[in-house]
Amino acid sequence: MFLNRNIITAVDIGTSKICVMAGVPDKHGNISIIGHGEAPSEGSVVKGEIISFGTAMEALAKAFDEASNAADEEVHRHRMYVGVSASGIVSSQHTGTIVNQDDDRKIKQEHVQDALRNAQGYATASDELAINSCDSYFVVDSVRRVKNPVDQIGSRLDAYIHVISGNRNRIQNFKSLLHEVGVEGEPIPVFTGLASAFGILTDEEKDNGVMLIEMGAGVTEYMAVFDSGILHSGVIPVGFEHVANDLAVGLDLNISVCRKILLDRKYQSLAKEGKAFLELGGTPVRKVPVISIEKIVDLRFREIFNIIKGEFEVKGFFRNTGASLVFSGGAALFPPAVDILKEVFNVPVRVGVPLDLRGSVSEIDSPRYSTAWGLLKYGYLDWQVAEASERKGILERFISGLDGMSKPLFKNITSLKSSIKI
């Protein structure tokens, strides 16, 4: 089935679980999953940060073992991509400009490449590491915004890029954890929000305009995409676990009981039946008002979604496109969250699941695996760039100005002059 065993490994270190997914290029030119493993984080990761290396290491080793057993070979000594969130993640827009002095004033591929390089000529703080960069858009003659400026007539070209950075030391923690379990080579960090975009967004959504919200247990990432360029991204250190914590505080219950209330969703059935109380076991039996659960859940989700909506409004995303919204992560499996999201944003919303899965895919067709699958697809594109570079010598593996860590993703990898797109 496989052309070779160029194994690509994705590692998603989350608040609720640590997931390892391995894949190889298949004969059809796609990435095919050969192994998957996961283990509960057991409190070792909080709000996207590793707080207990020993516990995280045990969980990661278990996940690697499961993935290796499924693949029938070791999977963690090859090309590896690790998702990072929180970790001081910030995003910024940068601009590069060139003046076209050609007689015909026609913008060529080399002009685009020069403008992109100029956009990346900026200074970063010593404790900051730029991990990903992608195109946002291009402007010709300071007035015409275009998706692809090649063959346009213009005297000036401005290239806008979106750069995602994080705290150097905190990102190093993720890489150190992988080295502790025997990973060789240098793991490549990828912002988990960007990874999810690779895993669940359709080409049509990326062209027409889409907002992505990825809500896990500890953090929530968000991203705005238009014309296949990233306009805005970010992360807030609040996730589904905080809803359970709110219930625990508001109702004076153990948080494990509150997690169960949310996961089994019995209170929703009681609400539909018109019953006023959820009865909890114990002596005496504890009766919790259903309306109190609903109110606490509603307030927390509404607060999170309004914060993100405000970020998109500040950046003018709603003015520029008639965007839809894709909601993924573990919280997307919770129907009340989807309903509240629709009310807050008042745009079409769909639950995002991994697209175009191939290979050993049982049980991972779920929003919980959007990031891991996206990391694998990201890694496959990066592998294609490296392969083309070795064969033809025409692609640059790294673009200068991003500390050697940014992985440009080319929509058409056959040419160095292709735009950097997601």
Question: Mean pLDDT of successive 10-residue segments in the chain (422 residues)?
Answer: 68 95 86 94 92 95 94 80 89 93 94 92 84 91 90 94 93 92 88 95 91 96 91 94 96 94 92 93 87 97 96 77 87 96 94 92 90 94 76 44 34 31 52
Q: How far apart are the first and last CA of the chain?
A: 28
What pLDDT does 389 receive?
A: 65
The two most distant CA atoms of the chain are separated, in Å, by 88
What pLDDT does 28 receive?
A: 80
Give the β-pairing of 324-328 and 210-215.
Answer: parallel
Any idea which residue has 């990874």 for tokens? 195
Whole-angstrom distance, CA of residue 1 vs CA of residue 334: 38
Quick one: which of 348, 351, 352 has its CA closest to 324?
Answer: 348
Please name each of the domains of the chain with its CATH number.
Answer: 91-165 (3.30.1490.110), 202-352 (3.30.420.40)
What pLDDT does 53 receive?
A: 93
Whole-angstrom distance, CA of residue 30 vs CA of residue 199: 13
Alpha-carbon distances, residue 147 vs 136, 138, 151, 229, 420 (angstroms): 9, 6, 12, 8, 11
Dihedral sign, CA of 155, 110, 163, 412? Answer: positive
Whole-angstrom distance, CA of residue 165 vs CA of residue 92: 8
In Å, how far from its chain's centre is CA 213? Answer: 9
Name the pTM for this structure: 0.89
What pLDDT does 416 receive?
A: 27
Sheet with 156-167: list strands edge to edge. 90-99, 156-167, 128-140, 144-146
Whole-angstrom distance, CA of residue 312 vs CA of residue 318: 7
Cα Rg, the chain, nearest whole Å: 23
